[in-house]
Amino acid sequence: MSQVFINGSLVPKEAATVSVYDHGLLYGDGVFEGIRVYAGKVFLLEDHIERLFESAAAIRLDIERDAGMSRTAMAAAVNETVSANEIQDGYVRLVITRGAGYLGLDPQRTSNPQTIIIADNIELYPQEIYDNGMHLVTATTIRNHPGALSPRIKSLNYLNNILAKIEGVDAGSPEALMLNHKGEVAECTGDNIFIVRNGEIRTPSTDAGILEGITRNTVICLAKKAGFPMTECGLVRHDIYVADECFLTGSAAEIVPVVSLDGRTVGNGRPGPVTRELWDLFQQLKGH
């Protein structure tokens, strides 16, 4: 039976409940992380926990004070949940909500922030996409304006991404490219994006309104160590259309080749050599 960690205890998933007055449910008021597990080991756990605490601090939620969990205790709870569910290759969803309040916005009238850890199996994309590449479309839904909400906060309110995801699925693609308020390339609904042009790897910089992905940063480090020129810069769709290669990165997705955007073939329409090399390096890093 699957076990969910909630507020200090492991309980059967059917018994893992939160109040209907919780601000996480009512307003998307909370933060989360999605983390991969390989061979029973949680991948880049410290990086994810650090980002979780940073996201929480940005919305004025002190996890250690308000939820009673230090970084060390949080890491131990994640490992305990993975072990209890006997997850070898899977996924962890780590959630912190503001806690139960009332039918109003004031977070000062909430209490008992919820710490929820779910460990389960996941299959985001079929193997065919990794072998042959993804056909991507551009969503009309743009990324939230960074002046309204920092994209570096991984909050529970993902409606912006979900609306763009619906557009992608409607067009027959499991992902969709999102532009920012200036019409520049930002990211996809759940993944960061990279291109390769004349041997140089490029990806949107953080000021494009993107979530600074853990896997994104890992791939940047791998690319630099492998000797690839690596640039974080502004991109527009034209850059993708004329790129030699394109790929996505994400904790659940890992590295996904993209072979077309909006019906326009990228490169030769096949996953490229740089993408393949980075995939191999990533597999070595995660221990496969």
Active-site positions? 154
CA pair distance 65, 36, nearest whole angstrom = 27
> Which residue matches tokens 């389960």?
120
> Which residue matches tokens 């912190």?
96
Give the number of C-alpha atoms closer than 13 A to the C-alpha of residue 104, restricted to the C-beta side: 6
Contact (Cβ atoms closer than 8 angstroms) between residue 21 and residue 112? no
> Which residue matches tokens 């919820």?
114
φ, ψ (nearest 5 deg) of residue 126: -70, 155
Contact (Cβ atoms closer than 8 angstroms) between residue 188 and residue 175? yes
CA pair distance 166, 176, nearest whole angstrom = 9
Q: How far is CA 285 from the centre of its chain?
A: 19
Q: Which amino acid appears at position 147 of this protein?
A: G
Under DSSP, the state recorded for 111 is: B
CA pair distance 245, 253, nearest whole angstrom = 17
Buried-exposed string 203-226: b where 16+ CB fall within 10 A, e elsewhere: bbeeebbbbebbbbebbbebbeee
